Chain A
Amino acid sequence: MSGLTIEKISMRFDLPNGSSVQALKDVSLQLAEGELLSVLGPSGCGKTTLLNIVAGFLAPTDGTITLNGHRVKGPDAERGMVFQQGALFEWMSVRENVSFGPRMAGKRERDWGTHVDHLLDVVGLRDFKEKAVYELSGGMQQRVALARCLANDPDVILMDEPLGALDALTREKMQGLVLKLWKETGKTIILITHSVEEALLLGERLLVMAPRPGRIHREYRLPFADMGVNADLREVKKHPDFGQKREEILSMIWDMEEEIMGRTEESA
């Protein structure tokens, strides 16, 4: 059985004062190979926790995750991760960063050299191979992170707000790049974001999560990612359905936020 299956995941943290927080409750999800899922939700809805569980950094209190027929028990090269920022190795050049995975697997340069150079071309960093990563701009650093993840050829790519720290213009360019890489490589991708627009643009499927306890609120299947692969993202945004979906989801999240605010005011 191929694909990623998330089955009845629950996560409860015990706090030092004796109370506990239900970060996730009965989250189930089936992701076919090559699907791009974007996850959206107000802060505290457990979306990063969910990603960390899928990545294997956290063990859920209940439930299982199965990838291609075997259970996920810890971090592994089959599940690559792209972080918001700060996850590059400053003591390595761009090329050394990108080839980190293959090198750790004990492969020789003749095995990974062409692949890594090709990826650097794809993300547009051909002329920056030997640069130190701290000399690059934020957008370029995220390109390195993407290439590094792809160089390891994982089955699933987990992105934790990968474009969150970028300025609006760079972000738009990078959204196009993510779509392009997704279509070219056919990877399964889970992308967590704060931006409704980004979630709509990139997500073939979109998951809106609700907080306290963290759970799946609504799921959408969207045409915009497919449209964006072949068209300008700005054009996609002008599509009438796009604007309508954006408003719908925005007000949904607004309502959740207001509910949280109201609840905290009551308890205060």
Chain B
Amino acid sequence: MIVFAIYFAIFVISFFVVKFVVHRAATDYTSLKTVTFGDESAVTPNRIASVVSVLSIFLLWAAFTGSTLVPGFLHAPGPFIGDATFTYTAQAAGQAPDDATVTIRVFEVGTEVEQPVVDPGDGWAKNDVDTVGAWRSGLIRVDSNDEFGRDDGHEVIAVNGEPIAPGQSVFTKFGRVGMSPKGTLNFEPAKGWQMEPIWLPAPEAVWVRVGEIATEGYRSFTLLEHLGYSLFRVVVGFVFGALVGIPLGFAMGLSNWFRGWFDPIVEFMRPVPPLALIPLVIIWAGIGEVGKIILLFLAALWIMAIAARAGVSGVSISKVHAAYSLGASKFQIMRHVIMPNSLPEIFTGARVAMGVCWGTVVAAELVAAEKGAGMMIMVASKFQQTDIVLMGIILIGVIGFGIDILMRMAEKALVPWKGRT
């Protein structure tokens, strides 16, 4: 909730800062339009907003993980680290209640820690020491070193002077002291607002992990191999899908018989999510490359067939008529009119297909694989290596985005007339 509140605050504040502080000197045509609300063509992404948006996500990530990338004053309050103390009041059969101090050294998990050294103190209840990791909690047997133990009716009745009973707890400035149903004290140091690294590692930890896996590898394959295999499967599956799907779509767009024959198949297969085919493909072809490529082939096939079919039906009849009355043969019309004319549709289909293939390959690798981006994050999640999971998600996103950008560039170069006729 706090994170969302901060994010929203950044959104609003930066909007007003940009609006009132950054004066736009531009006098282009759009800036002279008086009606922009409702005029979609006058709405362009505000670049400052994009930059602030991305930066604030990283800022929030860094602030709530105590990252070294941002100065300390921006950090959200961290967990308590150091020596925490509280006093308890104990009673035992036939004894007057006695106070003693508990000193608990709270340490960062993963670092070496020594027991604090304290004076045992006066009275029958002796001072105690213990260690607890940050974000963890620990049971503290305060009676273990006292002169009268549980056999003598040892019972803690107050912490820091506040009465306590089984099931209740007392809040100290170092954290919560609770009491188990059996009367044992349980210390949970204050967690602060930061995320524990096993839930959300700091950005630099993820970055370090990228370098580590890029050089040393993960599960006997380097990062490049994992990503490369995923990409390889997508490309091969997509290419086969396009090689079969595009001619199939053309045939469906040009012949009644083909249209009638394949329409039920295509229309049935189209709404079946490729993910639903994973179990069947694993049964038939196993979890190796062949199975993955068959799956991606099937994912791309229907999309490409439908795109090619739409491309053929998108050819205006006057173009075809014109070509016929200019003396072109059927083959020439196919080659010089129908194919180039359906390129825009095919490219749109190819972009969709590549997106679907990329999603499907990751999902298929999540289910079962020896290597690949999805397999990497799946295995890492089982070992709670959140940094690898995060890294994998970011890289999968970056690659998916990169594929789309490349497809758009190819489209611009090959189909410059798209949307201009």
Contact = CB atoms under 8 A, between A and B. Distances in A.
Genuine A/B complex: yes
Interface of A: 55-57, 74-77, 79-81, 83-84, 86-91, 100-101, 104-105, 132, 134, 145, 148-149, 152, 154, 158
B325 A79 contact: yes
A76 B417 contact: no
6 closest A-B pairs by beta carbon, nearest first, are A77-B327, A75-B324, A90-B417, A101-B326, A91-B340, A87-B318
A130 B290 CA distance: 47
Contacts of A86: 316, 318-319, 421
Interface string B336-360: 1100110100000000000000000
Interface string B134-170: 0000000000000000000000000000000000000
Given A91-B341, A104-B328, A152-B326, A83 B321 contact: yes
Contacts of B420: 90, 134
B215 interface: no
Name the residue among B323, B327, B328, B417 with the largest chain A CB count within 10 angstroms: B327
Interface string B391-421: 0000000000000000000000000110011
10 contacts: A75-B321, A86-B319, A86-B421, A89-B336, A90-B341, A90-B417, A100-B323, A134-B420, A148-B322, A158-B325
B332 interface: yes
A97 to B, nearest CB: 10
A104 B325 contact: no
A104 B332 contact: yes
Interface string B300-332: 000000000000000010110111111111001
B321 A87 contact: yes
A82 to B, nearest CB: 8
Given A75-B321, A90-B341, 12 more contacts: A77-B326, A81-B321, A86-B316, A87-B318, A87-B321, A91-B343, A91-B417, A100-B323, A104-B328, A104-B329, A105-B327, A149-B326
Contacts of B319: 86-89
Interface residues of B, number: 22
A55 B322 CA distance: 10
A141 B97 CA distance: 104
Given A57-B321, A75-B324, A89 B329 contact: no
Q: Is the interface of A mostly helix, strand, loop or mixed?
A: loop
Contacts of A105: 327
Interface of B: 316, 318-319, 321-329, 332, 336-337, 340-341, 343, 416-417, 420-421
B337 A89 contact: yes
Contacts of B321: 55, 57, 75, 81, 83, 87
Contact of A81 (B316, B322, B343): B322
Contacts of B336: 89, 100, 104
A49 to B, nearest CB: 14
Name the residue among B321, B325, B343 with the largest chain A CB count within 10 angstroms: B325
B326 A132 contact: no
A187 to B, nearest CB: 14
Contacts of B328: 100, 104
A132 B322 contact: no
Contacts of B341: 89-91
A226 B330 CA distance: 40
B421 A80 contact: no
A83 B324 CA distance: 13
Contacts of A83: 318, 321-322
Contacts of B337: 89
A74 B324 CA distance: 9
Contacts of B332: 104
B340 A77 contact: no
A134 B420 CA distance: 7
Contacts of A132: 416-417
Contacts of B318: 83-84, 86-87
B343 A80 contact: no
A100 B316 contact: no
